[in-house]
Structure 1
């Protein structure tokens, strides 16, 4: 809102020779519309099927598949909302989490031409968002210490570090078979249930958009505006 008001005050008003109102009045007018105005926040990972439908000139042939897709999406989101409410309002024995692997973070991150086209050092970030505590955990490692397959162990590490009263964990992730929907994640969950006496059930459910993506967006937004000091010798 402050950035929008700054553009209004320094560009819009001078061009039209208008005296700007105060920030308080500006915000009040901004929020007075019906329906109210709001800032759109694009999803980090967008659905390919939805994008194909929205960009198609002739939607007739795609309409049926799109409607079925949206119906499944609605059903899965309602299921997730139910599980979250049951966890938050319950006795603390149930946890709901979402987990996701962020896009590869290359190091160093810079726009300097001398480094831009050089080979980068890869860093991975596996994120778990605990909806019960509303906290995020980031497990990070570099390519010297493992590849993407290492994220399966972080599922197990999280499950074994839960409080003693937690008996059921329901996890939501996307449908990427290489990262989440595979036998290794299933085996990690099964291994945790067998070897952690207090843990009775681990549910694995899959969605197309995850709340954990908001953590990745925050990281990349902060990284984008970070200034790095580089030596001329590079």
Structure 2
């Protein structure tokens, strides 16, 4: 530990753990939509959505690198990593789901593994029709032209686009003679064509299927989904438009969540953007209040699953004040890889040694008969009003502050209470409480332990106050302030905060707290064994401006 001595009428020892961390260590392609054709009856698919009479566009499409199209499936979601929104729960990434990756690979004829774990081979162009074919398809189109048609079809990469292409290659015909009885369910007759060099080449059905690498089921589904106007309906699998929740209902949920006042974390305000609401609430209670509001306003309300989804995916709100942060360096070491562990090994060993030395130093002070040891800290905010009353949840609450000083040797607790209407919680307020404590203290050598909060404890105003006390009070010979290592500031004074929180929960079960003065009763009754906590309600007359001492006592 490091020790700096300040000379005055009586010696003041400033002992603080050396800060071994820096600030950084402490803070730890457009998809086709067939809805266009359904809305506009005169809609004509563009060149990249259906077959075309322009041979140049067909040739350009065949030059597309298929491998790049395959790789884009796995990498499509990576570009969104940098635009992540901090929410209560991790957002779902549907594009990275295995079933959607399999579906995308299947649509671009890539080698794939089905849901059962079996390997599905990639799509291949099959043999041409036999020589006895009446249309002699094999003599009309060359192998290179067939391959270009095959590649173009599968590079569309979307089942809706592929169905539009198949539909454009099919024409319904009425033969002059048909050997079928009246009322027969025999399917329609179609003529199949490919556009090669601006010419329509009629082919047989076998040649058509083998060239595209498809079967009868694909053709049957396409004809079934083709409407009277010749437009192919889009694939509706996985969609639930009929059950879509109205946007107005979703906005009601968002507004209800925003109606609750939020506060930042007591311990990590500078390191997180997460906000917190009343710890007595939970998702079930929020939803119950939401339903009651909707019923009173005669509005439609959503289900609990929808409310939970919006809360988890669109907000970063917690329901309780988190526990005190763990040490940033220790936590980083637990989650680091081997290389990182080797890089920070020396610094970590020094950090652990500093922690152990600070604990040993505090134990020696407690065992010494020549000094008195005290730990002080500011408890988390006590809101007023507080209780299980629906209207309280929507109101901005008055903050009540509780500054605690714990006598380690005699096991006595001192509490200084005030609300934000009386004063803030900065250096002057902390100095005033400690000054009032020292004023009523008859011991000669005082040792204080605290955390490293610069705005409250570790600043020149506190030590200016110490210097003033040694000059003002003749009984005081020395005042020593020692800071525990960052991340390892647990001390005996934390037991006071835990006892008060337990008593707070017990009292709120019997009824709400309406005024700040009721907190003093809660604090006095918090300790069930031994000496009760001594409560001092701070007024404006007890707050002093210790900044004025600096020009005289601090150089």
Query: What is the TM-score with the length of structure 2 in the denominator?
Result: 0.31
- Tell me by how many angstroms 1:44 deviates: 5.5
1:209 aligns with 2:490: yes
1:49 aligns with 2:331: no
Contact kept? 2:375, 2:493, Cα under 8 Å: yes
Larger Rg: 2
Q: Which residue of structure 1 aligns with residue 503 of structure 2?
A: 222
Contact kept? 1:96, 1:130, Cα under 8 Å: yes
Q: Which residue of structure 2 aligns with residue 15 of structure 1?
A: none
Which digits, 9 at most, give the CA deviation of each residue in 1:65-123, with x for residues without a partner?
3322211110001000001100xxx2xx5211111111111112224332113100100
Higher relative contact order (CA 8 A, sep 6+): 1
Instruction: Identify which of 348, 352, 356 aligns with 1:74.
Output: 356
Structure 1 counterpart SS, 2:374: strand
Instruction: Identify which of 125, 133, 140 aligns with 2:410.
Output: 133
Q: Let me know the Cα RMSD of the aligned residues.
A: 2.2
Which digits, 9 at most, give the CA deviation of each residue in 1:172-209, with x for residues without a partner?
01011011101111111111111001101000100122
Moved more, 149-158 or 120-129: 149-158
> In structure 1, how many angstroms separate the alpha carbons of the residues matched to 2:498 and 2:330?
20
Contact kept? 1:44, 1:213, Cα under 8 Å: no
Task: Give runs of aligned pairs for residues 80-91 of structure 1, distance below 5 A.
Answer: 80-86=362-368, 90=369
Structure 2 counterpart SS, 1:106: strand
Task: Give runs of aligned pairs for residues 19-38 of structure 1, distance below 5 A.
Answer: none
> In structure 1, how many angstroms separate the alpha carbons of the residues matched to 2:349 and 2:505?
37
Q: Which residue of structure 2 aligns with residue 175 of structure 1?
A: 452
Instruction: Identify which of 461, 464, 485 aligns with 1:184.
Output: 461
1:97 aligns with 2:374: yes
> In structure 2, how many angstroms separate the alpha carbons of the residues matched to 1:47 and 1:167?
35
Structure 2 counterpart SS, 1:154: helix
**What count of residue pairs does the alignment treat as equivalent?**
182
**Structure 1 residue ranges without an equivalent (≥5):** 1-42
> In structure 1, how many angstroms separate the alpha carbons of the residues matched to 2:392 and 2:334?
36
Structure 2 counterpart SS, 1:225: helix
**Structure 2 residue ranges without an equivalent (≥5):** 1-321, 513-555
Is the alpha carbon distance of 1:218 and 1:50 closer, same or farther for their aligned partners in structure 2, counting shifts above 3 Å?
Answer: farther
Q: Which residue of structure 1 aligns with residue 45 of structure 2?
A: none
Structure 1 counterpart SS, 2:469: helix
Q: Which residue of structure 2 aligns with residue 119 of structure 1?
A: 396
Structure 2 counterpart SS, 1:148: coil
Contact kept? 2:382, 2:399, Cα under 8 Å: yes
Is the alpha carbon distance of 1:44 and 1:206 closer, same or farther for their aligned partners in structure 2, counting shifts above 3 Å?
Answer: farther
Instruction: Identify which of 457, 476, 479 aligns with 1:199.
Output: 476
Contact kept? 1:46, 1:209, Cα under 8 Å: no
1:159 aligns with 2:441: no
Structure 1 counterpart SS, 2:457: coil
> In structure 1, how many angstroms separate the alpha carbons of the residues matched to 2:364 and 2:457?
22
> In structure 1, how many angstroms separate the alpha carbons of the residues matched to 2:483 and 2:328?
16
